[in-house]
Structure 1
Amino acid sequence: MPQTEVSTADIASQFNEVSVQAISGMRASFSTQSALYEVAAIVLAIFVSLLIYRYLRKWIYRHMPPARSPEFGQKIQRWVLLFVKSTSFSITGSILLWVATQILGLTSLVDVEASRLMLMRTANQVFLAWAILRIMLLLLTAAFGPKLLAPVVKKTVAVIFWICAVLQIAGILPSLVNWMSAVALPIGSTQISLWSIVTGSCTVIVTLGAANMLSQLCESAVISSELDSNLQVVSVRILRITFFSLAVLLALSWSGIDLTVLSVFSGAIGVGIGFGMQKIAANYISGFIILFDRSVKLGDYIQMSGFSGVITQINTRYSVIRNLQGEEMIIPNEMFITNSVKNLTLTDKASAQFVVVSVAYDADVTKALDLALDAVKGQPRVLATPAPWAIVSDLGDSGIDIKAGFFIQDPEKGTGTLKSNIIREILRKYAQAGIEIPYNKLDVTIVSQPERQEASAS
């Protein structure tokens, strides 16, 4: 079916005609007695809607879940409450105006055929447009996040939307769409209309936004489950890739782009990965291997490349290790496959720790061992099973070395403070028991000069 071409002059002429009709209709409405009833109904609808909105806003703020709550149910509850808060004023106003229109149409106060209640119908359309805009901004914020949807972007979207709403209310938008459909831009051997570009862009935004929202919901559901941490990361990543791949394919298909053209690009991408993106591809695949074989997991305490710390992130290309000093090291995932990694919490998070003190040779060694063991057992972080122990580890130059060993379940929290507390407690107990802590003693003999000469002469 051929499209009807609409020129710019036709649109301008139609705009002038609609403007004249609108102004004439407004004058006719204000010149009749019904204008007073319509204005009163509009003001009353705004007032009642504002009261309802303020009451709902206070109630919603009291029941709003945290913004970054990972739980699936709380995230759904937050979205529902935000929807009610964003649209309560406009939807309530639209409903009240519709009810007022029906009431005035049934009474004899207003001549409906003469005035056609133009003011109320226009106000109702404005309320509906406002509700649609609020819903659209809410969905865009939920889909792309508040950081991406900055205030400038929101204002731009709102301006474009209100321009389209005014054109739709005035009856000009269909002619403008026909004109954009008739204007074609040559791209290679094909021609694409302006309207196809607009609809294609909107389709891409909608599909990508829907994919992001679905992935966020699935991520919340997976995190709230009892799956292993690695399986959670793998599931979320696979779902995100699946949703975005489907979104891109649907957007291209709905935009009228032949998907067979993508075979050429896929071949080019394969060549690019084979030559210039080997490391990126290797790190990407290594990330999935790490997550599947569970050689390292989130929260594991590892030592690698002279750096030790807790794994806080396993991303697509790299992982992040954070040490006890707050320093973070970014390690490409490929290094976990090609290099040796010392995982201190692979099968069991319990880690053996030791402290060594010395006592004098004339001290009661049995009592010293018992006191050291009591000092270790008194620390809350020390595990009861396996039980702590204390042994004589060495006979030093100045004293007997006492070595106390114990296990802790949380080595990622550090051991410096714990060992310091144990040593301080041992010193306190030894001081109370009269056990001496030895120190190096050197016997220095001073030989005078005459004695040295006699010794050398003899």
Structure 2
Amino acid sequence: MALFSFFQKLQETTPPTSSPAESFDIESLKTRGLELLEQGLDWVNNELLHPDTLIQLGVIIGVLFLGALVTPAVTGWLKAGLAKLPENITQKINKPLLAIVRPLFWLFGMFIALTVLESAGQSTTFVRIASSLALAWVIIRAATFIVPDEYRKTIAWIAWLIAGLNVFGLLAPTLHWLDNHGIPFGDAQITLPFVVRAILFSALFLYGANWISQRLRARIDTLPRVEPSIRVLISNATHVGLFFAAVILALTSLNIPLGGLAVLGGALGVGLGFGMQQIVANFVSGVILLTDRSIKPDDVIEVDETYGVVKSLGLRYASVVTRDGKEHLIPNEALVANKVVNWSYSDNKVRIKRRLRVEYEIDLRLATALVVEGTKKVPRVLAHPAPACLVMEFGDEAVEIECRFWVDDPQNGISNVGSEVMLSVWDLFKENGIDIPLRQEEILIQSGSVLEVKMAKD
């Protein structure tokens, strides 16, 4: 190719420097510059301004102009056609399809021009370069819509660099040079192509493992005869297994010997023994919780001062959502080692107690009957077992009675249903003239004692 012959000739005729002093000689620099300028002008006159080259450049400019002229009309037709398709399909293909219309026209135009010039016996060097660049443009435009938005520009620049080197025949020499220059590492060396391949293979296998894991998790979550905790265990085990499989496949693809993992495993074991005790403890505790099913998703538990519904169980922590919307991430080790109240371990039914005080002068049997009647009016209170009211203690100032009732939805809250019961009982007490006694304190002044009264100003 004429373009390559210029660079080759330029390299052959450029004299090497013999010493630092000579390289800074002004006269030699001027002479060398004039030689390069003369060579460039000769190439322009003999190659670039050659009639065959001018014909090719004219064809390329014509194809570019024609593609730019036709693109708006074709884009309008495509938009009108896409508007007739379902909206979900239109949103997926609208932007990528419209983005490649112009380079696709240029590509077709270059291929047609290339065929015509070859049939006429004309030179096609620059047209081939233009068609290769147009093909690279189409592929890059279509491929960049697959990757996330934040990576599109970076990937597009890298793809254009590779495409440019390939078009000018410099890709293979560049890769050969990069493969032989790197950082020594044992018997091998870490080169830029190796790093790029490592990133690509790792990303590919990890993305595939994550995609398969999501599909399998969705399928596992729909298994009808499997306990929720076993589903979580199977899902997590599948995810971890696929992750390790992806790592092994990536190492194998990079020709990294797996025997070296023995050393890594020993170092990892030492790290686990010293710096990762809590992580390992939580991991093992998570497996225990998922296998013994003492705590399951949707259970209502109470840990220390945290009361809520178990939203999810993981291998490191459990997510507990409280009634005020806070999501607590409780380590699995705390759920295994500490005392946990599971309100729905074997049955969702929960008994709630609320104490009241009534005066000695009232009809005690009527008061207990009103408490039971008021409790039954609350919708969440179960009829079976039936609510009950017990006399608990004859206190110094009042009689203490206790209301006991059952609910089967503790995940909806305990204090709120207790408040509804107390309000219902309060209304019935008011209707029947039953008062709640107030605490009173009596002061006994014995004879002979002195009571001092002082006036103080603020």
Q: Does the pair score TM above 0.5?
A: yes
2:96 alignment counterpart: 87
2:353 alignment counterpart: 354
* Identical-pair percentage: 27
Shift of 1:131: 0.7
Give secondary structure in 1 for the equivalent of 2:260: helix
Distance 1:219 1:265, change over 3 A: same
2:288 alignment counterpart: 289
Shift of 1:335: 3.3
Distance 1:298 1:281, change over 3 A: same
Is the contact between residue 229 and residue 298 of structure 1 (CA under 8 Å) also seen in structure 2? yes
Q: Which moved more, 1:169-178 or 1:230-239?
A: 169-178
Distance 1:189 1:175, change over 3 A: closer
Is the contact between residue 57 and residue 85 of structure 1 (CA under 8 Å) also seen in structure 2? no
- Count of residue pairs brought into register by the alignment: 410
1:410 alignment counterpart: 409
Query: 1:186 pairs with 184, 187, 196, which one?
Result: 184
Q: Find the aligned partners of 1:161 and 1:287 in 2 and give their Cα distance.
A: 45
Shift of 1:346: 0.8
Instruction: Tell me the amino acid that sits aligned with residue 417 of structure 1.
Output: N
Is the contact between residue 318 and residue 331 of structure 2 (CA under 8 Å) also seen in structure 1? yes
Shift of 1:363: 2.7
Shift of 1:87: 2.8
Query: 2:171 pairs with 163, 170, 173, which one?
Result: 173
Shift of 1:54: 8.9
Unaligned runs of 5+ in 1: 1-8, 64-79, 142-149, 451-458
Give secondary structure in 2 for the equivalent of 1:342: strand
- Pairwise mapping of residues 40-439 of structure 1 onto structure 2 (< 5 A)? 40-45=66-71, 48-49=74-75, 52=78, 63=88, 84-85=93-94, 87-90=96-99, 114=122, 122-135=133-146, 137=147, 141=148, 151=150, 153-183=151-181, 185-223=183-221, 225-226=223-224, 227-305=226-304, 307-324=306-323, 330-439=329-438
- Larger relative contact order (CA 8 Å, sep ≥ 6): 1
RMSD: 4.3
Give secondary structure in 2 for the equivalent of 1:131: helix
Shift of 1:126: 1.1
Is the contact between residue 105 and residue 112 of structure 1 (CA under 8 Å) also seen in structure 2? no
Q: Find the aligned partners of 1:26 and 1:386 in 2 and give their Cα distance.
A: 98
Is the contact between residue 42 and residue 120 of structure 1 (CA under 8 Å) also seen in structure 2? no
Structure ID, larger Rg: 2
Is the contact between residue 286 and residue 332 of structure 2 (CA under 8 Å) also seen in structure 1? yes
Shift of 1:102: 7.6
Instruction: Tell me the amino acid that sits aligned with residue 141 of structure 2.
Output: W
Give secondary structure in 1 for the equivalent of 2:145: helix
Unaligned runs of 5+ in 2: 1-6, 13-38, 450-458
Distance 1:196 1:57, change over 3 A: farther
Q: Find the aligned partners of 2:196 and 2:10 in 1 and give their Cα distance.
A: 21
Shift of 1:251: 0.9
Say yes or no: does 1:29 pair with 2:56: yes
Q: Find the aligned partners of 1:186 and 1:111 in 2 and give their Cα distance.
A: 53
Q: Find the aligned partners of 1:178 and 1:353 in 2 and give their Cα distance.
A: 78
Q: Structure 2-normalised TM-score?
A: 0.73
Distance 1:92 1:343, change over 3 A: same
Say yes or no: does 1:39 pair with 2:38: no
Q: Find the aligned partners of 2:247 and 2:368 in 1 and give their Cα distance.
A: 70
Q: Find the aligned partners of 1:377 and 1:348 in 2 and give their Cα distance.
A: 21
